[in-house]
Structure 1
């Protein structure tokens, strides 16, 4: 029976999932462990997009950085 995954709803689950990903980092793609890693990474990416959005740089800061 396929494993059921749930969205990450809080910081505790987020951190637990990151720890689990660390343990699966060397999993071979296409194996059950590799599939689990792929799903967990997708869930973490969704959580991070929602809770840690990356703001575009200020245009003047970008120009200053490029000129430096």
Structure 2
């Protein structure tokens, strides 16, 4: 097993190829151990070189609404009234602390996403 830290894109691509080749390794074998180490190294490289931006809270709400099959009126219990829902989703009104708490408690939306700075309205 010749496993090293990943420093370049070429090394990253080679590690991904090796992971694909080892994917079906039997647990407890040297190949499975090599696979596990490679996955850790690839994760480290990806975290350092391809960080994932925190999602915009409004976009997150819209995506979750679609995933959960919710309509705007379904958010009224969490945002107070239809006007608030419409204004928040169109970025004309910020989420209030109470809305954030209710969305978190009621729909289990992550607090760290809801409290993030929303992107500016580009309309």
Place the TM-score, normalised by the shorter chain, in its bin: 0.7 to 0.9
Runs of 4+ in 1 over 6 A off after TM superposition: none
Q: Which runs of 5+ in 2 are unaligned?
A: 67-123
Q: Normalization by structure 2: what TM-score?
A: 0.50
* Aligned partner of residue 54 in structure 1, secondary structure: coil
Partner of residue 27, structure 1? 25
- Partner of residue 63, structure 2: 65
Shift of 1:54: 1.1
Q: 1:38: how far off?
A: 0.5
Larger radius of gyration: 2
Q: Which stretches in structure 1 are left out of the alignment for 5+ residues?
A: none
2:5 alignment counterpart: 7
Q: Deviations over 1:6-60 (max 9, x none)?
A: 2100000000110011000000111011111011111001001111111111011
Match of 1:38 in 2: 36
Structure-2 separation of matches of 1:64 and 1:34: 40
Which structure has more RCO (C-alpha within 8 Å, separation ≥ 6)? Answer: 1
RMSD over aligned Cα, in angstroms? 1.4
Number of matched pairs: 66
Q: TM-score, normalised by structure 1?
A: 0.85
